Amino acid sequence: MPPPPRADAALTASLRADLGGAGWTVDAVTELLGPVAAGALLRDQPLPARRALAAAGDGAAAVLSRLFVLGAQVTRGALDAALPATGTAGAERAGLVTAAGAGREDAVRAAVDLRPYAAVDAAGQSSWWLASDLGEAATGGPLPTDHVLGVGGASTTLAQLTVRTPAARVLDVGAGSGVQSLHAARHAGSVTATDTSARALAFAAFNAALAGVDLDLRRGSLLEPVAGERFDLVVSNPPFVVTPRSAAVPGWTYRDGGLVGDEVVRRLVSGLGGVLAPGGSAQLLGNWEHRAGEGWTDRVGSWLEASGLDGWVVQREVQDPAEYAETWIRDGGQRPGPAFDALLGAWLDDFAARGVQAVGFGFVVLHAPREEAAARPRWRRLEEATGPLRAPLGGHVAQVLAAQDLLASTPDADLLGLRLRAAADVTEERHLRPGDADPSVILLRQGGGLGRAVAVGTALAGLVGASDGELSVGQIAGALAALLEVEAAPLVAELLPQVRALVADGLLVPA
């Protein structure tokens, strides 16, 4: 493995200017590749991309894409032209490339993967250039165990999940190449990033310098480097992959925390109460084992109890032991064959030893009540939602946390006085059998968030329909009782818990 790139201020400044001047953006790369090659590259099949870029000429964006995205060689003269301020010599000093010689036609190869990045999160559009280790498509072999990963599906999911309200201090646990830290730097006074890997922290330092961002980088496991400190927001894409503790099974540092089973996620969830400031929140991804005789909600729920925080867990996917093992063996670059089978056997033995019947994947949201609400009971919700997420989800997460705070401090008598409105993304569906005058099913459907569909009765549908912020819940309920010719008190008793549920899910919001 080549050494990680150097976070030299002068070199990263000139490189930033060159990359911007070259117009090397995600859109530019996508246009150069075309849809077929771009799709194939996402499946780790580089051949169509090689063909597309070979026909794209020697423009700066094409040269940079061939070199850094595909790991193909270019000439020194072509790279000098693509990076006029930095040049091949500067890229060498930064640790980005290796050159065969000083001649214009001498070959230059990438030492790292460098590519444009763009995403939309709850704070809006963002774009940078991000460096990581060369992947399997460029090297043609299994990944080294100290491989530093670039942007993957999990990184994107967490970035879109994270709350983006301004925060004084943000902590990124298991920062890797620094993707979440860069997102957080846009709305944070300071960002502290931790990782056990010195190599990962070096990449994070380079990416921060290239983006013009200052990070407080600390090496250590999970929350140990920040013991005794408090943060307003914690984000983490931790090394959560369940990996057998066997010398025959490689432990890739970007995904394996070195502990047994799902212990990494348990320790992180249960320990976050010690670092979250009052009013602060945490969003993280994780895996958890489904063990014989123990429901996953009981298992993960015990972690929430240990944290002392409010907690919301959403399970997005479940894999059986063989499917899970195959996924992560292949992720490490191992092709089918005897070595693959040996690793699969080790994984299955490890799962059998603990009675693991499946592994769940999802996200965890934690929240520390403000000091004035510290004595109130903690709210907990553990659920399964496997449908498509309406990204970015961070705004919805912030809304759910605010709604839970509101509901916890609002007794029923005060809830009757609230003025609510139906959220802008809520629609109503009525299903009738042919010839019927009244619907047999009424659904409220959420266009954003988790895309919930809630079956409601006539009275609740009427209340939601009348909730435009002008009248209070109590006034609407009283009018409905008169319209339906029923007593007001039983109707109010029926509606209030349902109203609370709709507020908690974000279908009704304060006017």
- Read off the pTM: 0.94
Distance CA 93, CA 9 (A): 12
Q: How far apart are CA 464 and CA 215, in angstroms?
A: 46
Specify the DSSP class assigned to residue 227.
Answer: T
Query: CB of 184 within 8 A of CB of 162?
Result: yes
Could you give the CA distance from residue 377 to residue 354 in angstroms, rounded to a whole number? 33
Measured distance CA(463)–CA(476) in Å, rounded: 6
Distance (Å) of CA 85 to CA 59, 89, 115, 368: 16, 10, 18, 48
Query: Left (φ > 0), alpha (ψ -120 to 50) or beta: where does 435 sit?
Result: left
Axis crossing angle, helix 488-505 with helix 473-484, rounded to the nearest 10? 130
Report the CATH fold assignment for 152-390: Rossmann fold (3.40.50)
Task: Enter the tokens of residue 179.
Answer: 């993707």
Kindly state the helix (H) or strand (E) to which residue 455 belongs, with its residue range: strand 453-456
Token pair for 323:
């499917």
Tokens of 156: 């994107």
Domain with CATH 3.40.50.150 in the chain: 152-390
Strands 419-422 and 508-510: antiparallel
Backbone phi, then psi, for 454, in 5-degree steps?
A: -115, 125
Q: What is the CA radius of gyration of the chain?
A: 26
The tens place of each residue's pLDDT in the chain, 511 residues long, gives 899 999 999 999 999 999 999 999 999 999 999 999 999 988 878 899 999 998 888 899 999 999 999 999 999 999 999 999 999 999 999 999 999 999 999 999 999 999 999 999 999 999 999 999 998 777 777 788 899 999 988 999 999 999 999 999 999 999 999 999 999 999 999 999 999 999 999 999 999 999 999 999 999 999 999 999 999 999 999 999 999 999 889 888 999 999 999 999 999 999 999 999 999 999 999 999 999 999 999 999 999 999 999 999 999 999 999 999 999 998 887 889 999 999 999 999 999 999 999 999 999 999 999 988 888 899 999 999 998 888 799 999 999 999 999 999 999 999 999 999 999 999 999 998 898 888 889 999 999 999 999 999 999 999 999 999 999 999 999 999 999 999 999 999 999 999 999 999 999 999 9
